[in-house]
């Protein structure tokens, strides 16, 4: 019997600050398959997230079943995060952080929240070769509600930097501390290749860059370290982060009506695919953007 068995593996999932998004669902699927899970949380949201966990507000969401095909007996237990690190993907190193950010009350107590900072924290906690799976589940575009024609250079480059280049930086910096055969997974959206009016501010460009970089990084990281790099193009989900777009409900309804499987996507379905890609069952897959969208990407005509 084939099984998704991640026993003995450690994952770092960047972009988890609540229980409503893809990042949390992926973390949960990895845990259900037996992995230990560390997460990176945006510093301004870290305190609230930790308070929700401490007060038991997320207990229902944390209760695990067995992931499809999972070999570990996790059903009914509660997922716990091995570590929760303050993490801001806008900064590659601590020296990249402006003084006003370092001194900001939401950052000051956390020290180095850069990508390299999380690498150093992991090494200090677990040793040099300590990670097997890295998940990039984050994006931000300050002008996402702006049409591309109305997007500033700063807004455009900011969207690409945080939403796409951060994945390049994570592969650069996490690659050396991953055990051989490591797996990187990121999250994209169909706006990378088709026009989604209202999804602006350079975010469509960022997603296109993310998918292109996936192919190049797969070649480079595969040859250099033996790691795999893949991307999931997920259908729309009404997460708290997606609410910034302003029309996520409309997109969910449209995709539901026009997909081969006429139903709304669930976060756990993306989580299960991420666990598969990270597992030995996905050992032959790299450089791929995999659609998890009820088949919407296959359609060429609206119904």
189: annotated active-site residue:
yes
pLDDT of residue 238: 84
pLDDT digits (tens, 9 = 90+) for 195-235: 999 999 999 999 999 999 999 999 999 999 999 999 999 99
- SS3 category, 120: helix
> Helix (H, G, I), strand (E, B), or coil: what is residue 205?
helix
Q: How far apart are CA 192 and CA 165, in angstroms?
A: 15
Per-residue model confidence (pLDDT) at position 2: 85
Q: Whole-prediction pTM value?
A: 0.94
3-state SS string over 3-42?
CECCCCCEEEEECCCCCCCHHHHHHHHHHHCCCEEEEEEC
The whole-number pLDDT of residue 74 equals 61
Residue 32 located in a structural domain: yes
Catalytic residue among 85, 107, 165, 189: 189
Instruction: Specify the number of domains making up the chain.
Output: 1
Is the four-CA dihedral 113, 83, 46, 175 of positive or negative sign? Answer: positive
- Domain with residue 63: its CATH number is 3.40.50.720
Measured CA to CA, the distance from residue 202 to residue 153 in angstroms comes to: 9
What average pLDDT does the segment 86-115 reach?
Answer: 96
Residue 224 lies in a domain: yes
CB 216 within 8 A of CB 172: no
Q: Is 197 inside any structural domain?
A: yes
Please indicate, yes or no, if residue 300 is contained in any of the structural domains.
Answer: no
Q: For residues 159 and 202, is the Cβ–Cβ distance under 8 A?
A: yes
107 is an active site residue: no
Does position 288 have pLDDT exceeding 50, yes or no? yes
**pLDDT digits over 37-87, tens only?**
999 999 999 999 999 999 999 999 999 985 555 544 566 789 999 999 999
| H runs (alpha helix) in the chain | 22-32, 43-54, 59-62, 99-102, 115-126, 153-160, 166-174, 203-225, 248-258, 267-278
pLDDT tens per residue, range 232-265: 999 999 887 777 777 889 999 999 999 999 999 9
Q: Is residue 118 part of a domain?
A: yes
Contact present, 183 and 227 (Cβ < 8 Å)? yes
Query: Does the residue 301 lie in any domain?
Result: no
pLDDT of 68 reads 53
CA–CA distances in Å: residue 197 to residues 59, 151, 203: 37, 14, 11
Which residues constitute the domain of residue 118? 10-294
Where residue 282 falls among pLDDT bands split at 50, 70, 90? very high
Query: Per-residue confidence at 99, pLDDT binned at 50, 70, 90?
Result: very high
Q: What is the pLDDT of residues 148-185, one digit of tens each?
A: 999 999 999 999 999 999 999 999 999 999 999 999 99
150 domain residue, yes or no:
yes
Q: In terms of pLDDT, which residue wins out, 152 or 303?
A: 152
Residue 187 lies in a domain: yes
**Nearest of 28, 140, 31, 32 to residue 87 by alpha carbon:** 140
DSSP code of residue 64: -
Query: Which is it for the CA torsion 86, 20, 178, 88, positive or negative?
Result: negative
**What integer pLDDT is reported at residue 71 of this predicted model?**
47
* pLDDT at res. 76: 76
């Amino acid at each position: 019997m084939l099984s998704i068995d991640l026993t003995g593996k450690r994952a770092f999932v960047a972009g988890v600050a609540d229980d409503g998004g893809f990042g949390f669902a992926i973390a949960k699927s990895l845990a259900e398959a037996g992995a230990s899970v560390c997460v990176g949380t945006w510093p301004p949201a870290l305190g609230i997230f930790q308070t929700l966990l401490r007060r038991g507000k997320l207990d229902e969401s944390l209760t695990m079943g067995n992931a499809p095909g999972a070999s570990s007996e996790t059903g009914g237990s509660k997922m716990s995060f091995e570590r929760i690190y303050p993490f801001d993907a806008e900064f590659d190193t601590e020296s990249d952080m402006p003084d006003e950010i370092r001194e900001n009350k939401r950052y000051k107590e956390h020290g180095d929240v850069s990508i390299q900072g999380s690498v150093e924290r992991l090494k200090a906690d677990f040793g040099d070769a300590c990670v097997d799976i890295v998940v990039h589940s984050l994006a931000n575009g300050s002008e996402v509600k702006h049409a591309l024609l109305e997007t500033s250079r700063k807004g455009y480059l900011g969207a690409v930097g945080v939403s796409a280049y951060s994945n390049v930086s994570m592969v650069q910096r996490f690659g050396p501390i991953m055990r051989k055969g490591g797996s990187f997974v990121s999250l994209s959206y169909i706006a990378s290749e088709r026009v989604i009016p209202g999804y602006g501010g350079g975010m469509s460009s960022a997603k296109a860059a993310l998918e292109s970089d996936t192919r190049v990084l797969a070649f480079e990281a595969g040859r250099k370290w033996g790691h795999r790099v893949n991307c999931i193009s997920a259908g729309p989900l009404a997460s708290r982060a997606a609410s910034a777009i302003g029309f996520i409900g409309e997109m969910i309804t449209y995709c539901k009506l026009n997909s081969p499987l006429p139903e709304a996507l669930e976060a756990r379905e993306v989580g299960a695919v991420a666990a598969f890609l990270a597992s030995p069952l996905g050992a032959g897959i790299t450089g791929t953007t995999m659609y998890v969208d009820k088949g919407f990407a296959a359609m060429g005509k609206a119904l």
